[in-house]
Chain A
C-alpha cells in the first residue's frame, strides 16, 4: 500500500497556441514528478491563446512545477487554484 501523501492542485495555464505546446506541458509535468489527474484545453481562435486547465498531484511543492512550466517559451502565465496568475519572468 502506498503511504505517500499526494497534494492536489489545479493549474490554469495560458499559452500561445503553438505547435506541441500541450505536449511540452505534459512532458514537463511528468518529468518533474507530478501526476495528471485531469486536463482540459481550449483555444481562443480570436487571439490564438490556449487555456489549459490541469489537475495534478504530487508530494513535491507546486512551485517547482510552476517555475518549470513558466520556462517554456510559449507559456504566457500559470495560475494555481484561485491565487494570482504568476506572470512569466524573463531576463532583460
Chain B
C-alpha cells in the first residue's frame, strides 16, 4: 500500500497519472472539468492546451504511438466530450492505448438535460475498448488504475473515464495498490505449433505478411530475426511499414489497394501466408474470395476475434507474438522463390523520371525520406499524400510512421505530429499532409505556435480532395463532385500568421534545397508543395477486385 493522504478527485487523478508515468497530457478546459483543471494547477503533469478536443485526442494518439506508451487527453462534458469521439474511434480502429478523461455535470444533474450534458458514457460504447463513469469518489482511484491496465492489456485500445463534477471535488483518503489486476486473466493457449511448423517447412512459396500488431507487440526484433533466418519474402500493411528492416532484400513493400505490384503479385502466387499482427483488412485483401487463393494461412494474433474473422486460418497461434514467433523461426529451402521475387522487385521498382518541370509528389517524398535524419517520425493525414508516403518513404521502425490506418481520419496528421514531437523531443517529426486534410485540424498550428513545437509540415497541395477526385475520375465517369479546393487559403500566409516559417515551391528544381532548408530549420516549418492536380496514385486495385488485377495508369 502507498501512503494515505486526503485528496480531491481532481488531485487524485493527477496522482494516479504520475504513478503510471504520465508526464504530458493534452486537453481543453470547460465548465464540468474545472475541478480537474484546478488540480492541474498544482500538479507536476505538463498540460498542452490544444485548440480543439479532437486535436487533443489525436495528439494523445500520436504521443502513444511514437513513444509506445499510453496517451492521455482531457475534455469537458457535452461538446468537449463529443469532440473526442473521432480520436477515440481512430484509436480503437488502430489499437492505440489512450486514456480519455471527461468531465460530466454533477451527479444530481445527470439525466436532466443539463447545460453541456451528454451521455458520453453511452456514446463511448462503440468507440472505446472500455469505458467507466465514476459516480462514487471511493471508486475513482481503482477505476483510473483499471483504465490504464485495460488500455495496455492484450490488444491495446482507448478507455474513457467520465467523472462528474461533484466527484472531482469530493475528497477521499483511500489509497489502493497501484494495479488492480483484471479478473479472468489467463494465459492464451497456443495452437498446434507442430502443425504450423509442418506448413512452414513444406511451403515452396511462403510470404510473411506483416501488420501493425508487430510494433504494438514490441516484436520488431523477433519479426526481423524470423525474416532473416527463414529468408522469407515479406510484405507489409500500411501500419506494418517499418517493422521489416529497410535493408532486407526480400521485402516487397506494402500490399493491398495501393501496394506495390511486386507485393501484390507475390501474395497472389504464394502457397503460405505467415500473418503476424495483421487482420486481412479489406484495403489489404481486395476481393476477399480471390486473395492469395492457393495459400495456407498461419495466423499469429493477440486477439482471438481476429482469427477466422475474414480468412480461415490453417494454424492459429494466439498470444504474445514476441514469445511465439521464435518457435517457428527456422531455415527454409526457398531459394528459387526468393530469386523470382527479387527479380520481380527489380522489374517493378518505382520510377521517378517524371517529365516536365512540375513537382512529382512521389519524388518529393522520396527526397524527404532520403534526407531526413535517422529515427525521424513521420505522420500523415489521409488521402493521396498518405499513400505516396507509404509507397515512397522508408521507415526504420513502426513507431516512425504514424498514419490513420483503420479509421482513415483526415485531420490526424498535424495533431499526431504534435503528440509525437512532445514524446520524442530530440527526434525530427514531419507531418505529411494534404491541402484538404490540413484544414480539418488547422487550428493546431496555434498549439505549435504556443509551445514552439518544431514539427515540420510537408503540405502536398493539389487544390483538390485528391483521392476522392481520383475515384470520381476513374469510377464515376469524371463527374467531379465537391472535390475542388482551388479557393484554399494562402498557406504560406496562414503559417506566417502562426509565426511558423514557411515556403511555397512549384518546380521540381526547387525540391531538394527546400527540403534541406526545412530540415535544417530549428523550429516549426511548413513547406507547401504545389503539384499537378491530375496526378493519381498508382498502382490501384479497384474495389471488389483481386489484387493481381491492379490498374497501373489510365
Contact = CB atoms under 8 A, between A and B. Distances in A.
- Real complex partners, A and B? yes
Interface in A1-39: 16, 19-20, 23-24, 27, 31
Interface in B363-418: none
Contacts of A27: 125-126
B185 A68 contact: no
Contact of A90 (B126, B129, B184, B307): B184
A70 B130 CA distance: 13
A44 interface: no
B56 interface: no
Contacts of B186: 87, 89-90, 92
Given A20-B121, A24-B125, A92 B320 contact: yes
A92 B309 CA distance: 22
Contacts of B125: 20, 23-24, 27
Contacts of B495: none
Interface string A70-91: 1111001000000000011111
B154 A67 contact: no
A89 B122 contact: no
A71 B303 contact: yes
Given A23-B125, A76-B184, A88-B184, A68 B305 contact: yes
Given A23-B125, A73-B150, A89 B304 contact: yes
A68 B304 CA distance: 9
A23 B133 CA distance: 14
Contacts of B154: 90-91
B496 interface: no
A39 B507 CA distance: 66
A40 B55 CA distance: 42
A24 B81 CA distance: 19
Contact of A71 (B132, B188, B305): B305
A82 B153 CA distance: 31
A64 B318 contact: no
A12 to B, nearest CB: 17
B356 interface: no
B111 interface: no
B110 to A, nearest CB: 13
Interface in B181-195: 182-189
B308 interface: yes
A88 B183 CA distance: 10
Contact of A63 (B122, B133, B302, B308): B308
A24 B127 CA distance: 11
A16 B182 CA distance: 12
B206 interface: no
Nearest to A73: B130
Given A19-B132, A63-B308, A89 B189 contact: yes
A24 B184 CA distance: 18
B319 interface: yes
A87 B186 CA distance: 10
Interface of A: 16, 19-20, 23-24, 27, 31, 63-64, 67-68, 70-73, 76, 87-92
Of all A-B residue pairs in the complex, the 5 with the closest CB atoms, nearest first, are A67-B305, A92-B187, A91-B154, A90-B185, A73-B130
Given A19-B133, A92-B185, 16 more contacts: A16-B183, A20-B122, A27-B126, A64-B305, A71-B303, A71-B304, A72-B130, A73-B129, A73-B150, A90-B154, A90-B184, A90-B185, A90-B188, A91-B185, A92-B187, A92-B319
17 contacts: A16-B183, A23-B122, A67-B309, A68-B305, A70-B304, A71-B304, A72-B130, A73-B150, A76-B184, A88-B184, A89-B318, A90-B154, A90-B182, A90-B186, A91-B185, A91-B187, A91-B188
